[in-house]
Every structure is written in structure tokens, then in C-alpha cells.
Amino acid sequence: MKRGLIVLIFLLFTLSTVSDFCGDGLIDDLETCSTCPQDNPCLVDQKCIQDQCVSKLLPPLFLKEDPIATIITPREIANTLNILLDQPHEFAACLKGKYADGIYQITKIEFPEISGQSIYAVEHAKCSRFGTIATIHSHLDGNCDMSKGDIFAFGQKDSEPLTAIICGEGDIAFYSKKSFTKRMNYLIRDIEYSRLNYFWALFPWVFSGLLIIILLVLFYERERIHNLRKKEKALYLIETFTQQEKKLINTLVENQQLNKDRLNKQLISKLTKENLIEEKNNEIHLKHWFKKALKRL
């Protein structure tokens, strides 16, 4: 009797503490992004600092294959998938999102054009390459294991790091090309997308775009001023030439080159000193900058 009471107390203690287990997919009171990132990870636009998820300076842009990552899906999208599951045939959808620091975050669901559906298969157009984390399709038999056909189809998709199968309400299996049998860690979370959050998500990219435009304008203006100075220098140099030298310069511009024997040493020395010509295989060529400046005159 006493032994049975001890066993009962132990079982009650175990049941009361099972919800505090890190890795059970539930966020308990003491689980933060630092103490249990498996259950309470930060979103891809955030980083964990002192047990708090704070916004990053720049959100990620590109996806990469990470077989040990965690997938976070907004509850709204998870509910949509559950509704779609209540059909007499398989369906397919494109799960789009972002990746950073071991987290895939689903942000959008799109539906490709369907060409054929049955209780065993679905034929559809490919998902767009940019931003697609995985193509998800349903298994109506309740089995989320990948079939040979699923493995073959996934192998043909170079741009998608993951694939997914939904086989029951909230029962979604994500796989990478590293393992067609091991499910990846998958979490459903309540994610609020307020206008303010949307603004701060786009702000870094808008700011970066404006900065690039400003730098391009400054670079163009620098080139314009540089070319203007070259033009002024070309005008000044031409004013110092004799008529014979001007005639030879015009000949160089028209013919692109002149034989060295046609120019006297004094003229060659003068043009070389002013950085106007260069010698190649006993041929005299105008320097590129001077040629461009003459064309702008």
C-alpha cells in the first residue's frame, strides 16, 4: 500500500512537470529565447538579447538549406491548411517566407495552378523560385511519410530548401534533402503583423535602396565633374599647339594611330610630357582620356 502511494505521488509529480520540458513545442513560464530556443525561438527578423527578442537592423533576403532548422508557421496559415485538408482529394500550396539563424518563418501561402487531383496524388505548376521555402501537399491516409514519388519530385526542386506534407489537423511534416525520413522541428505561433511591424520590416530595404540611389547620383556627378575638368584641360592644351601639331592630332583622332617616324622627337616629347600619347609597336596612339575629351568638344 505504501509502495503504491509512492508510485502514485511520483506519477502525479511527473505529470505536473511534463509541461516544463524544453522541446515539447509548448512555451512554458520559464522558457525564453535563451533558456529554450527550441520552444520559444525568435522570428527571423529578430535576435535574442537577454531573454528578449529584439528587431534586427536588416531582415534576411535569401534562403538556404538548413536540415536542423526550426520552422515557424503563423496560426492563421496553419488554420488555412487545416481547412484545405477537408477535401476529398489531395491539394498543394506554396509556403513562402524567410530564413535566418536556424529559423524558417512562413509568412505567406500561395496556390499554384492545379492540373489534376485525386485521393492519391496532385499535379500542379511549380512554385515561384524566389522566397519559396517549401511546397506542401496533403496525404489523406494520415501518413506523413514521404513516398517514392514525393522524394523524386523534391529532388527536382533546386530552389526550395524544404518540402512539407500535411496528413492531419496541425500534423505537418517538414523534410530537407539531408533526410527524407526525419521530421524537422515545427512550431505554430500567434504572430501579429501590425502596420507598424510591416513598416519596420520594410524600412531597412527602403533605406538601403535610397542610399544606393544617392551613391549612384554622387558617383555620376563625380564622373561628370572629372570629365569636365579633362575637357577644360584638353581645350587648354589644344590652344598651345601649333597648326602642324593640331593637324597631326586630328589625323590621330581619325586614324586611331600614326607611325612614329611621322612625328618629330620634339613633338613626341611634348605630347608624352602632357600624357596625351602612348607608344605601341612603333605606333603612336592618343591616350583614351584625351580622345574622349576631344569627342566632347
DSSP codes joined into one string, 26-75: ---TT--TTT-TTTSPPPTTEEEETTEEEE-SS--------TT-EEEEEH
| Residue 66 lies inside a defined structural domain of this protein | yes
Q: Domain with 105 in it: what CATH number?
A: 3.40.140.10
Distances (CA, A) of 61 to 58, 81, 115, 131, 253: 9, 25, 31, 8, 49
| Residue 125 lies inside a defined structural domain of this protein | yes
pLDDT mean across residues, the chain: 79
Predicted TM-score (pTM) of this structure: 0.58
Q: Same structural domain for residues 165 and 114?
A: yes
Q: For the chain, what is the domain count?
A: 2
Q: Same structural domain for residues 186 and 138?
A: yes
Q: Quick: pLDDT tens for 118-155.
A: 998 999 999 988 889 999 999 999 999 999 999 999 98
Q: Same structural domain for residues 188 and 77?
A: yes
Q: Quick: pLDDT tens for 213-261.
A: 999 999 999 888 877 787 777 777 777 777 777 777 677 666 666 565 6
> Average of pLDDT values for 270-289?
71
Place of cell 502525479: 12
Q: Quick: pLDDT tens for 63-116.
A: 788 889 999 999 999 999 999 998 999 999 999 988 888 889 998 999 999 999
Q: What pLDDT, on the 0 to 100 scale, is given for residue 146?
A: 94
> Do the beta carbons of residue 122 and residue 137 sit within 8 Å?
yes
Residues 6+ apart with CB under 8 A from 280: 257
Q: Same structural domain for residues 182 and 227?
A: no
| Residue 249 lies inside a defined structural domain of this protein | yes
Q: What pLDDT, on the 0 to 100 scale, is given for residue 255?
A: 64
Give the domain range for residue 228.
222-295
Q: What pLDDT, on the 0 to 100 scale, is given for residue 269?
A: 72
Distances (CA, A) of 262 to 185, 252, 278, 283, 286: 80, 11, 15, 10, 14
Q: What pLDDT, on the 0 to 100 scale, is given for residue 279?
A: 72
> Average of pLDDT values for 21-28?
76
| Residue 246 lies inside a defined structural domain of this protein | yes
**Which domain-ending residue is among 176, 193, 210?**
193
Q: Same structural domain for residues 270 and 150?
A: no
pLDDT at 167 over 90: yes
Using a pLDDT cut of 70, give the percent of the chain over it: 75
**Which domain-ending residue is among 193, 209, 242?**
193
Using a pLDDT cut of 90, give the percent of the chain over it: 35
